[in-house]
Amino acid sequence: MSDTSDDLPQLYLITPPTFDTDFVDALGALLDTHAVACLRLDLASRDEDRLMRAADALRAVTEPRDVALVMSDHWKLAERAGLDGVHLTDGSRSVKKARADLGADAIVGAFCGASRHDGMNAGEMGADYVSFGPVGGADLGEEKPNDELFQWWSEVIEVPVVAEGALDEEALARLSTRADFVAFGEEIWTAEYPTARLGELLTAMRSA
């Protein structure tokens, strides 16, 4: 995985739930501008053919640029598509099985909401990273991880931690020294110019 400059958290991107070839072209331009460590294929569809075609299209963009490519949840498809690994959305529950199926070299990440306990379990079972979120956004009833969780994790746990979910400039300034990765999805893809928007968010981290 590539690193960002100035000891900032590494960049982790999440695809929109649906996308077309224009998105793939825009993604390539963005990756040529900003150093991104990992891209997550996160389609809303569960159709196998659609997921495989999306994986092929993204791999053609990420592979030449040395950007890791993982798929949400479907680790069997991720393996068949030749991706780098899987991002599990059910916390620690599937980590052991995914690791056994994919082997030691694959990336296995786990989204653990705001649960320190679930994150620790995921790490103990072999997760390469743990993701906490959503950090911001509307109150939809889910528990949000606070800054203290990221601070504690960065000081005590060796497993890298990802911050994701409605990240704005204020949150990024706070998390710039507490997270190993920051994950952006709709924060940049809904902007008119995603590459420029990502640059603005990076500036917010550097100004912390």
Residue 4 included in any domain? no
Residue 37 included in any domain? yes
- 192: three-class secondary structure by DSSP: coil
Residue 65 included in any domain? yes
Peptide bond into 64 cis (omega under 30): no
Structural domain that includes position 80: 10-206
Please report, for the domain that includes residue 48, its CATH number.
Answer: 3.20.20.70
Residue 82 included in any domain? yes
52-104 pLDDT, tens digit each: 999 999 999 999 999 999 999 999 999 999 999 999 999 999 999 999 999 99
Residue 5 included in any domain? no
d(CA 117, CA 93): 12
Residue 200 included in any domain? yes
Q: Per-residue confidence at 1, pLDDT binned at 50, 70, 90?
A: very low
Residue 3 included in any domain? no
Mean pLDDT on 180-197: 97
d(CA 185, CA 157): 26
Residue 4 has pLDDT above 60, yes or no: no
3-state helix vs strand vs coil in the chain, percent to 5: 40, 15, 40
Q: Which residues of 130-167 are buried (b: 16+ CB within 10 A; e: fewer)?
A: bbbbbbebeeeeeebbeeebbeebbeeeebbbbbbbeb
What global pTM score does this model have? Answer: 0.95
Residue 62 included in any domain? yes
104-158 pLDDT, tens digit each: 999 999 999 999 999 999 999 999 999 999 999 888 788 999 999 999 999 999 9
Task: Name residue, tokens 């990756």.
Answer: 31
pLDDT value, residue 137 = 87
Residue 44 has pLDDT above 60, yes or no: yes
d(CA 134, CA 73): 18
Number of domains forming the structure of the chain: 1
